[in-house]
Every structure is written in structure tokens, then in C-alpha cells.
Amino acid sequence: MSSNEVSVKFQPQGKTVRVAPGATMREAVARAGILIDYPCGGQGTCGKCRIRMVGAAPTPTEAESGLLGADALRNGERLACRCSVDQDTTVEIPGTSVLGASYQILGSRGNASKTADPPIWKQYVEMPPPTREDDTPDFERMKRVLGDIRTDTALLRVLPSRLRANGFKGTAVISDDRLIDFEEGNTEAECYAVAFDIGTTTLVAVLLDLVNGGECATASRINPQTGYGDDVLSRILYARDTEGGLERLQEEVLTAVREMITELAAQAGIAPDRIYEVTFAGNTTMQSLLARIDPSPLGESPFVPACREGLVLPSDDFNLGIHPRGQAYILPVIGGFVGGDTVAGILATALDDDPNPVLLVDIGTNGEIVLHHEGRLQATSCAAGPAFEGARIAHGMRAAVGAIEKVRLNAAVEYDTIGGARPVGLCGSALIDVAAELLRNGLVLSQGMMLDADSAPGNVAESVRGRLVVSDDEPAFAIATAEETGIQGPVLLFQRDIRELQLATAAIKAGIAIVLRRAGLQVQDLKRVLVAGAFGNYIRCNNAQRMGLLPHAIDESRIFFVGNTSLAGAQFAATSRNARRRAEEIARAAEHVDLSQDVHFHMEFSEAIFFPEPTEESE
Amino acid sequence: MSSNEVSVKFQPQGKTVRVAPGATMREAVARAGILIDYPCGGQGTCGKCRIRMVGAAPTPTEAESGLLGADALRNGERLACRCSVDQDTTVEIPGTSVLGASYQILGSRGNASKTADPPIWKQYVEMPPPTREDDTPDFERMKRVLGDIRTDTALLRVLPSRLRANGFKGTAVISDDRLIDFEEGNTEAECYAVAFDIGTTTLVAVLLDLVNGGECATASRINPQTGYGDDVLSRILYARDTEGGLERLQEEVLTAVREMITELAAQAGIAPDRIYEVTFAGNTTMQSLLARIDPSPLGESPFVPACREGLVLPSDDFNLGIHPRGQAYILPVIGGFVGGDTVAGILATALDDDPNPVLLVDIGTNGEIVLHHEGRLQATSCAAGPAFEGARIAHGMRAAVGAIEKVRLNAAVEYDTIGGARPVGLCGSALIDVAAELLRNGLVLSQGMMLDADSAPGNVAESVRGRLVVSDDEPAFAIATAEETGIQGPVLLFQRDIRELQLATAAIKAGIAIVLRRAGLQVQDLKRVLVAGAFGNYIRCNNAQRMGLLPHAIDESRIFFVGNTSLAGAQFAATSRNARRRAEEIARAAEHVDLSQDVHFHMEFSEAIFFPEPTEESE
């Protein structure tokens, strides 16, 4: 662990995260996976993101002084969007600030908040049993208490006996205005959803407690479809050209999804049938394969998706192993190459409400780029390949225990691993670090060539120079030695890994350039750049700029790392129907920019293949 | 066939029916199963039920002269609700008068009529294929032409390849605002629905052509659930007390339903997957068993149904063999004993719009009675038993070929059979005839005892007297002799059959008495009595009055036989979403009267068990 980070512990969620000193509380909250609502877009004007520092609190900002009042400030109250973290601290998040907390209120008061508009809610009810004088139908009797809800024939089949076995007392479960269950006793406290990010390479899932708004468990694994091809196109072709191929790809991802749900429920110690809702965000192809929608047209020009709208499916269509009358929601898409993951990202960052121009760059196997400028949302994607997720890199791996996540070259090679374990391989953030550090030290040239130990500049420390080795006839840089890794060999970055990074970086860099050019903007015009991605939590901004992934012409203070926004957006959609309506609006409003159509793309790409020259660097 | 009836042939439906001279054209239209809209409730004020007499037309009524104008009258145009039938005639029904005809207009013009509001519509569309300049998602492209419709994931799974295989040309099928198919070529002309009356004893179905509003085929059979008990209660107990009993009862009726659909499609020579909608009307228990909803609470006080609302199910839930993404609709119910068949009856007769007080009496295994009086609908039911459907009667049968349907005792015994075949048994209308005729001739006394040949009054013709026989030690009346029936024995009405008729009649008679008493009305106050039922088409009013089934204190001219209104209402619901909304309103508005709760019921019933004395008879 790096010693210059500070820890923030959140109550009542009981989660602790580590951030750089000076990070905003908003960033720490996001890293903890807690969903706080920022109706004003984090501008410090609405006061909705109130938190309380337990112990020493930073000096209040002007916005906080204006909105909170002296008593609250003395009590340690601050705004998550305004205050920063300077030291180890414990923070209380009041229920009123957390998205999803309204369910508890809803459940116990039976009074649906129009603002929260949750897709699922529960209410314990006690009804007078029917008599000859009051022979209202069972479902009608429930509507007297629950308001105007809809029937579900599958539930009606068992409702009469369920009501009578429990003396007309129990907990009503309402999903999307539909009564889906009547559970024995008071189960209001047990109401869960799962949000999935269905990446081309990686699947990530979060179990959400809809009562307190907290995360109960997370799980991730490699998308088993990678066995049928690393990229989107190879899977489309497999589905199109192989008999039963589409069904097989669907079954592969669904099997993983089911296992992850089982794993999440076990981690949290809950019954899987108390999960009522699962939301999925992924690129258009991943979502098509998940829903078993013929993806063939996504594989050929003009790359048209079957449908823009989000899809609602009964959970038994997917056989998810959650509540049998639960639902799955798949986010809407913008176009053939810009999918539900991008819609989720715009939703999670409220990009369309942000001061603009603002750019969202989501770095994954497909890089997605969205520009919000003067009310327009322009979205595109580029095939970056899976390098930043550790795939196609000889010693690459995803951000799991033992992954090297930070690398520094000073007098010696220094690195941190996830979980402090012995090093196993390199995750995305380490790749960015090591590429930047090799460039900075002149060990890799801007065209991408890795020098050998003899050609390295004279000012490079001997211990670093010694890491320039040849392995299997290929130049490589040893980040961890065989001694450090223990039983396995060294962790190496090969010349061809540098080439993969160049291609991945160039795709994103060219994409950003084209999007800005079409809007008549310069990088300098951007008020903010939001960088999303699940490729390791600790990307270092100056290193991403040094190796060209992020534009160097923008000040580091305007670059924000927002984590896995696809997952965050899926979480929003799992907890609020209002968020789903916003997602549908975003999908309709955003314009789909086809990079391959742009006359400048190939030129931009061929220029972007070079790493920035040292002189270009701003530091 | 009776010689004093006249035939009416309908064009373009090609159907011929026979009615008594002087019957209204509305009655003839209803008997032909043609759905005409009477927005004014048949009051002759809206002019919507315009028809044209080919050949001689009756003298126009005042209402017709006022609404139609001289040219139209000369052209033979009349109103179905006003004109009567005096001789054999041919009638043209213009498309504008027929419910459902609007689909044709809708299909070819692509302009949904808000009035018709059909649950299914088709539209042939030709769309420009996607290009790089126009990469709108497939479903979005369809919405450009079809308006704001909803997706169906099952269809989306095949839509992309379907659109491309057909060059983006084909026929969209929209069910309940949901795109359920995109068919090759122009299939606008092939759009069908089936309406079912699910009776306790009898199942009846009609295949409807939604393009011209006509009936294409009909089918009927005994409800196979009768093997588990004649009445509603025995089936409820079977479902409740037998492991898998509910599932078995559902499967029994669904098997018959599937076979009937296959039979209807074969009769009409259409592909079953061009049937997109099936509607069901039955009593509350029949509908519960059909939907596999636990009927136990319907078997014990206070007899509460699971749900009042109509149910919509995907056709594959029932595995109906129609279009795989079609729908089933089960009508809403009023209470535990007054079901979707009664709602359908009120809907079909527009009882709630009729001049009132008006009574609807539906004679089936359950007799349902609805009074509309000063804006209130009061509905009840009584367990009449299946006698009027020919069951529990020794030589009883349903109204099928060979059934004796009319009986007259004059100098000799005269009868008509359905289809003019040799007599096989007695259907409901013949039972009413023979009971009335035996009473009229003094061969059965008012307490129900059948005399023997020696005790018969002296004025009875010898040939009639000779029919009073003893069979298996029981008095019986031979309606058809062994010679007349051919290879089988005579068709007899036994003493115990008379007892069954007494019980069935008494239940309905007592029900009518209680409903009127609660409303503070006398029989004489009723403006009309509508008699519904599928128990033979040719009930004779004076005979039904003579044997006490219908009140004798009301003039025959105010009694109307309206046929199977449960089926007619199901047909309305199959052709119009507006009709469904009306059905839901009716179910909500109607009051459920529990006869068994009424202190007067047992007294009324024990009095009603006697046939009316000859002196009570009005003729």
C-alpha cells in the first residue's frame, strides 16, 4: 500500500476506501460504491449531498457555510461535493443523502415517494379477512392498502391460499407497479437488486441493499465469451456463422451471471429469492448477446441495432435464480457501437447536466467517448482492444489480488500490488505507469521502440537499467523479478506489449481528436474530462497524459477519474425508475458518431500511434 | 323445420338464420352471430345499425324515416334495431355497421381509429433499408411508420434477420400496442381471433375474421371437466382436495380449447398462427380453473375470487397453438358467483344503457340474473344445475344434430329435430316445451306429478294419452317412439326429469323474485326481460312462462331471447379494446348479491318448486 494515501471509513455502510490526500469526498464516496444523489450536478448549490465528519472536519467552503448553517457545521456536517479529504477519517452518510434509502421510508410508511420512484418496493400489510358483508376479491382487498397496482397471473395462482395461510398478514412485493409476491411475515428489510456491467472482457456485479442503499457484495470475473474471441466483431461473426452460436454465447454469459448472483448472495448471506431486480449495462453487442437478439447487423455497415429502448424481461426468461417473478432490465443503447454502458455512464456522471464542454472517456475493450457541448451529446466508440484490462498483454491481468497496480521508476523499480500480495501480473493502471515511466526515462522511444540495457540513457539508475532484459529473443522490461514473485518467473513488459498499448492508446486518442474537431473545439476548451473504466482504481493522471492516453494540453485538475460508470449507471437504474426514464431520454437524445465515416480518422489514428515526444509533456 | 318461420340471409357474411315472423332484424342479426354496433342501445336514435333489404322492405318506421331520408328508404335501407322480418329475405350489412370492419380500413390506411381501438391490427409497410446516413435502430425505423408501439423481446430476437430477409418490406402485427410479428409479404387480410364461452357444461367457440367482422366457423363440445363433477362446487373441491387436481382440471379444459381452435382453423381453412387473440368468458370458477388460479376460496363462505380484473396472458402460457406471441384475455368478474360470462352478457346486451328497469336472465348450469334499475346493476347467480343443457336428464342432450328442439301436443305429439335428423334426445328448449305442454294438457300436475294414462283428463287425444308409459318402473312420457328413433329405443321424459326441471326452474324463479324484491319492483314494472342461454335456439316464450321459468305476469312482447350473450360478449372483447375497458367498468360497477344471504331465498325457492297453476297462466 502506498503510504501517502488516506483512508475514509463510511458509516453505516461499514466500507473503507483509500484515496489520495486532497481528493474530494465525492470521489471517496464513489469509490466506496455508495450512491449519493447530486441533483445540482455537484455544484454545491442544492445541499442534498450532506454528510457528517466524525472527528476533525476540514474548514467549510463558502458554499457549505451558506447552505448548512453554523450548528450543522459545528456538528461536522459538510457537502460531499465540496469538502476534501486530508487525513484518515470516518464519515457518516445520512439516509436522506443515499439513493435507495427512500425504500425504507417507503416500506414502513407505505407512501410512495414520487422522487425516489423505486422499481421495487415492499410493504408489510395486515388486512381484515373477507366476510359475507365484505366479499371483495383478494387482489382488490390488497389494492385498498397498496393503491393502484397491477396483477400478475403467476402470483394470482397462489395468492388466495397464501393470504389465507397467513391470516391476510404479510409483506407485499411490488415490482414496477405489479404485485409479484406476498411473503410470510414482515420481510421489508430484505429487498435486494443486482447491477451488472457486462464488459467485452470483464463482468462486474454489485449486490445492492435497497433498504439502506448500500452495497452488500461485489463480484467480477472474465466474460467467458472471450473464449470465442477477444473483440466484439469475432463474437458477432461466431453468432452469425455458427449453428446455435448465438444461443451458446448467451448461455456462456448467463451461466457466469447466475454464478455471480449465487456468489453475491452467499457473500452477503442472503436468500437469492430476496433479489427482485437485475439490471445490465454493456455495449450494444454484449447486450444483444445477453438478450439473444440476433447481432448480425452489428457486424456489417451500417451497424444497426435491433432496438434503442431498454428491455424488460421476466427473470425466468434468463433463469437467473433470483425471485421467480423478478425482472431483468437491460439499458437502452445509442447506436450499434455506443451501448447501454455509455448511457449508464452519462446517467451516472450526469454528464448532460455538467458545465460544458465536458468529455467522458470510458476506457475498456471498446473505448467510448461522449462530448456534452451546448446541450448536444455526441457519442462514439473505438476498438481499443482489451490491453487496458490486461488481456493480450503477455503478463497482463485484471485488477485482482496480486496485480501490480502502480509502478514508479526512480533509483529503483518500485510497485504496489492489489491486496499487498506477491506480484502476479500487470493490471491496466500499471501498464499506463510503466509505459509512462519508461518514456520519461528514455527507455522507450516515442515511436514505441524499447531500448536495450546498453543503449539506455546514462542518467538511468543501474538497478533500473538492469531490468532491460531479453526474454525469448524479445526485448522486455522486468517490473518484478523472479525472486519477488516467488515460485513463478519475473513479471515482464515485452516490446509487443508496448505495441498493443500503442494501438489501444491511439484508438482512444484519435477518437477524442475527431469528436473535438467535429464540435470545433480544442482540448483546452474542455471544462472537465471524466475518465471511466474498470481497469484498476489507481490510474495516475500525469502518467496517462505522458503516454498519450489523455490529452496533455489539459490541466490535471480538470481530469476526474470516475471509476466504472457503466456499473454505477446500472446501479442507478436498479434503484430508480426515474433513472430508467432518464436513461431512455439520454439514449434518444444522444447522437451516434461513426468514426469510421470520418475522413480524418485514419490520419488521426496514424499520428496517434506515436507516444508524445518528451517536449510535448507539460510537467 | 317449422313452416311458420322465415329465413334471413345475410350478405356478405353468407349466413342464413330462421326466425319467427315479426322478429326484429336485430334479433336475426344476433342469431347470425354478426356483431353490429348499437351505440344508442337500439333506441333508433343514432342510425348506426343501417342495413339494406334486398327485395321487398317493410314499411319504414317513424325513426327510420327521420334518420335515413327518402332515397335511402327507396334503396331498401332500414335500421336493424327498428325493422322487423315478415318474410324470407336477403339483407346486406354494410361494413360501416359491423364491429371489426374498421380493421380493414385501419390495415390499409395505417390510421388507427380511436373508436374501433382493436386489440390487434396489421399494417403492410415498406421501409427504406438502413444506410450509413440513416442508421436508426430497426425497431425505431418501424416506429417511424407505425407510431408509438412497444417492443417484444421475443420478436426482437428474430426481427433483424426477418427485416433483412424481406428487404424491409412486410406486414407488421400489433397486439395491444406491442409489435408481435413482422410477416413476409402482405398478410393484412389474414387476421383472426377466437372467442370462447367456457360454460360449466358446454364450451362454445367462434372464429372471428377481424378484417370483415364476420364469423368464419363455430365449434362446441361438452366441457371435459364434467367428468369431475357436474357443478361448480364439485370441481372446486376436486381442485382443492386432490394432489395435482387443479392442474388436471386446467389441462382438461385447455386440451378441449386447443382442439376446438384446431377445428375452427381447419373449418375455415386458415393457418392457426394467423389467430392472434383468444378471449374467454365463463363463470368465476370456470375462469379460475382455466387460468389455474386456486379456486378454494370460491368453495366456502364468503366465496371470494382472487381478482376482479380481466387477465391478459401470453398465448404460450396456455400453449394455445395460435400465434406464438399472441394473447389470451379472460374477462373480469363481478364476484365469486357472478363471473366473466355475466360481464360479457351485460356488455353484449348493453344492459346498462337499456331503458330500465330491465332484467337479464342467463340460463345455464348456473343461472345468472342481472337487474339494471336507475343506474344500478345488481347481479346474482343461482345453481340451476345442467338440466337446461340436457344433462342430468335421462334422455337429455345438448343442442346438436338429432336433438328434439320443439315439441307440441295437439291431436298427436309433434316435434322438430335439429338438422331434421331422426330424434336422438331432448335439448333444453324441448324440455321447456314438453313440460309446458304436459302441464297445459293436465298430464303433469302443478306439484310436478306425472299422471298415468288412466288418470289423464278425458279431453286428451288418445295418441297423446298412449305416450304415458311406465319404463323401469317409473312413469314417463314418450316424445318419440322407438319406430321414430330407428335403431335405438324411444325418447322418454321421466318423472325424475320433471323433478330436475322443477329444481332448475325454481332456482331461477326464486333468484328473479329476490332480485326484484330487493329493488322494490314487481315483475310488471320491468320494461324488458332479456333471456340468454345456449340451451337451444328455439325456446317458446309462452311455454317458458307456462312452466314457470319466466314470469307469466309480463307480456310476451317484452321478453327477448338474446342467445349466448357470454359468447357474444367474448366476441366484443376479442374485437375491441374499448369493449374490454367497458367490461372492466361493468365488473367494477355491478353489485354482487349473495342469494344465500337473503332471508327470503329459501321461502321463495320452496314456493317456486311448484309449477304455476293453470289459473295463473295469462294466455
Q: Is A594 in Cβ contact with B291 (below 8 Å)? A: no
Name chain A contacts of B153, Cβ cutoff 8 Å: 291, 293, 311, 313, 317
Q: Could you tell me if B91 and B79 are in contact, meaning their C-beta atoms sit under 8 angstroms apart?
A: no
Mean pLDDT of B165-183: 95
CA distance A549 to A564: 17
User: What pLDDT score was predicted for residue A383?
Assistant: 84
CA distance A493 to A396: 9
User: What pLDDT score was predicted for residue A597?
Assistant: 78
Instruction: Give the N- to C-terminal CA distance of chain B in Å, as an integer.
Output: 25
Residue of B nearest to A247 (CA): B157
Residue of A nearest to B312 (CA): A153
CA distance B475 to B472: 8
Residue A306 has its nearest CB partner, among B139, B304, B307, at: B139
Chain A residues 566-595 with CB within 8 Å of chain B = 592, 594
Coil vs helix vs strand at A402: coil
Q: Which of B178, B294, B338, B588 to mutate to test the interface with A (most CBs of A within 10 A)?
A: B294
CA atoms within 13 A on the CB side of A399: 23
Closest CA to A593 of A535, A516, A525, A541: A516
pLDDT confidence band for A618 (50 / 70 / 90):
very low
Q: Which of B135, B309, B317, B601 to mutate to test the interface with A (most CBs of A within 10 A)?
A: B135
The helix-helix angle for A565-575 and A577-589 (nearest 10°) equals 130
User: What pLDDT score was predicted for residue B590?
Assistant: 96
Q: Which of A131, A134, A135, A598 to mutate to test the interface with B (most CBs of B within 10 A)?
A: A135
Mean pLDDT of B446-465: 93
Angle (nearest 5°) at CA B604 between B598 and B608: 145
CA distance B443 to B466: 12
C-alpha distances in angstroms, A606 versus A175, A286, A506, A510, B236?
A: 51, 28, 8, 9, 77
> Touching check for B247 and chain A: CB below 8 Å?
no
Q: Is A159 in Cβ contact with B305 (below 8 Å)? A: no
Instruction: Spell out the residues 6+ positions from residue B270 whose beta carbon is closer than 8 angstroms to its own.
Output: B190, B192, B207, B216
Instruction: Give the N- to C-terminal CA distance of chain A in Å, as an integer.
Output: 26
User: What pLDDT score was predicted for residue B617?
Assistant: 47
DSSP state string for B174-196: EETTEEEEEESS--TT--EEEEE
**pLDDT, tens digit, 9 for 90 and up, residues B93-142:** 876 565 532 222 222 222 333 336 789 999 999 999 999 889 999 999 99
- The string over A307-343, giving b where at least 16 C-beta atoms fall within 10 Å of a residue's C-beta and e elsewhere, is bbbbbbbbbbebebbbbebbbbbbbbbbbbbbbbbbb
User: What pLDDT score was predicted for residue B470?
Assistant: 94
Identify which of A190-204, A393-407, A415-429, B479-493 has the greatest average pLDDT: A190-204
φ, ψ dihedrals at A152, nearest 5°: -140, 115
User: What pLDDT score was predicted for residue A609?
Assistant: 92
Mean pLDDT of A315-330: 95
Looking only at the bridges linking them, the beta strands covering B169-175 and B120-126 are antiparallel
Residue A51 grid coordinates:
454528510
pLDDT at residue A130 is higher than 60: yes
CA quadruple A292, A297, A302, A305: dihedral, nearest 10: -20
User: What pLDDT score was predicted for residue A101?
Assistant: 28
Amino acid found at A322:
I
Q: Is B594 in Cβ contact with A135 (below 8 Å)? A: yes
Residue of A nearest to B142 (CA): A307
Q: Which of B153, B177, B594 to mutate to test the interface with A (most CBs of A within 10 A)?
A: B153
Chain B closest-CA separation from residue A335 CA (Å)? 7
> Touching check for A139 and chain B: CB below 8 Å?
yes
Residue A487 grid coordinates:
515460485
CA distance B122 to A170: 45
Identify the residue with better confidence: A553 or B33.
Answer: A553
Instruction: Please give the biggest Cα pair distance in chain A.
Output: 98
Q: Does ipTM surpass 0.85 in this model?
A: no
Residue A130 has its nearest CB partner, among B295, B296, B304, at: B304
User: What pLDDT score was predicted for residue A2?
Assistant: 45
**pLDDT, tens digit, 9 for 90 and up, residues A35-69:** 676 666 677 877 778 888 888 888 898 888 888 88
Identify the residue with better confidence: B223 or A35.
Answer: B223
DSSP state string for A51-110: EEEES--PPPPHHHHHHHHHHHHHTTEEETTT-B--S-EEEE--GGGBTTTHHHHHHHHT
How many other CB atoms are found less than 10 A from the CB of residue B459?
7
Residue A450 grid coordinates:
524499447
**Which residue is associated with the grid cell 391470516?**
A167
Mean pLDDT of B393-402: 86
Q: Which of A68-72, A112-116, A364-368 has the lowest mean pLDDT?
A: A112-116
User: What pLDDT score was predicted for residue B334?
Assistant: 96
Chain B closest-CA separation from residue A113 CA (Å)? 26
Residue A261 grid coordinates:
448472483
> Touching check for B597 and chain A: CB below 8 Å?
yes
How many other CB atoms are found less than 10 A from the CB of residue B472?
8
Provide the 8-state DSSP code for B22. T
**pLDDT, tens digit, 9 for 90 and up, residues B286-310:** 999 999 999 999 999 899 999 999 9
Closest CA to B277 of B228, B323, B225: B323
C-alpha distances in angstroms, A193 versus A215, A216, B550?
A: 10, 10, 61
Q: Which of A53-62, A148-157, B231-240, B318-327 has the lowest mean pLDDT?
A: A53-62
Name chain A contacts of B306, Cβ cutoff 8 Å: 137-139, 156, 159-160
pLDDT at residue A4 is higher than 80: no
Chain B residues 288-347 with CB within 8 Å of chain A = 291-297, 301-309, 311, 313, 317, 333, 335-336
DSSP state string for B192-261: EEEEEEE-SSEEEEEEEETTT--EEEEEEEE-GGGGG-SSHHHHHHHHHHSTTHHHHHHHHHHHHHHHHH
pLDDT at residue B225 is higher than 90: yes
> Touching check for A599 and chain B: CB below 8 Å?
no
Return the percentage of chain B with pLDDT > 70, whole number: 92
Chain B closest-CA separation from residue A293 CA (Å)? 4
Mean pLDDT of A414-431: 90
User: What pLDDT score was predicted for residue B4?
Assistant: 72
Residue A514 grid coordinates:
475527431
User: What pLDDT score was predicted for residue B541?
Assistant: 86
Mean pLDDT of A386-406: 86
CA distance A188 to A207: 17
Looking only at the bridges linking them, the beta strands covering A120-126 and A376-383 are unpaired
Name chain A contacts of B157, Cβ cutoff 8 Å: 291-294
Chain B closest-CA separation from residue A481 CA (Å)? 51
Return the percentage of chain A with pLDDT > 70, whole number: 92
Q: Which of B307, B592, B594 to mutate to test the interface with A (most CBs of A within 10 A)?
A: B307
Mean pLDDT of A326-339: 96
User: What pLDDT score was predicted for residue B2?
Assistant: 44
Name chain A contacts of B313, Cβ cutoff 8 Å: 153
User: What pLDDT score was predicted for residue A146?
Assistant: 93
The total number of residues written for chain B in this structure: 619
Mean pLDDT score of chain B: 88
CA distance B110 to B103: 10
pLDDT confidence band for A25 (50 / 70 / 90):
confident
CA distance A50 to B159: 48
User: What pLDDT score was predicted for residue B34?
Assistant: 67
- The string over A487-515, giving b where at least 16 C-beta atoms fall within 10 Å of a residue's C-beta and e elsewhere, is eeebbbbbbebbebbbbbbbbbbbbbbbb
Q: Is A293 in Cβ contact with B157 (below 8 Å)? A: yes
User: What pLDDT score was predicted for residue B398?
Assistant: 79
Q: Which of A367-371, B152-156, B395-399 has the lowest mean pLDDT?
A: B395-399
Q: Could you tell me if B213 and B12 are in contact, meaning their C-beta atoms sit under 8 angstroms apart?
A: no
Q: Could you tell me if A255 and A225 are in contact, meaning their C-beta atoms sit under 8 angstroms apart?
A: no
DSSP state string for A490-506: -EEEEHHHHHHHHHHHH
User: What pLDDT score was predicted for residue A595?
Assistant: 84
> Touching check for B130 and chain A: CB below 8 Å?
yes
**pLDDT, tens digit, 9 for 90 and up, residues A219-229:** 988 899 999 98
CA quadruple B17, B20, B26, B31: dihedral, nearest 10: -40
pLDDT confidence band for B39 (50 / 70 / 90):
low
Coil vs helix vs strand at A486: coil
- The string over A73-103, giving b where at least 16 C-beta atoms fall within 10 Å of a residue's C-beta and e elsewhere, is beebbbbbbbbbbeeebebbbeeebbbbbbb
User: What pLDDT score was predicted for residue B404?
Assistant: 92
CA atoms within 13 A on the CB side of B41: 10
pLDDT confidence band for B420 (50 / 70 / 90):
confident
User: What pLDDT score was predicted for residue A154?
Assistant: 92
CA A101 to chain centre: 21
Q: Could you tell me if A297 and A316 are in contact, meaning their C-beta atoms sit under 8 angstroms apart?
A: no
Closest CA to A293 of A339, A324, A257, A255: A339
Residue A160 grid coordinates:
388466495
The helix-helix angle for A245-268 and A284-291 (nearest 10°) equals 90
Chain B residues 277-296 with CB within 8 Å of chain A = 291-296
pLDDT at residue B492 is higher than 50: yes
Residue of A nearest to B162 (CA): A294
User: What pLDDT score was predicted for residue A54?
Assistant: 85
H/E run at residue B275: strand B275-282
Return the percentage of chain B with pLDDT > 90, whole number: 59
Mean pLDDT score of chain A: 88
Q: Could you tell me if A598 and A514 are in contact, meaning their C-beta atoms sit under 8 angstroms apart?
A: yes
User: What pLDDT score was predicted for residue A97?
Assistant: 62
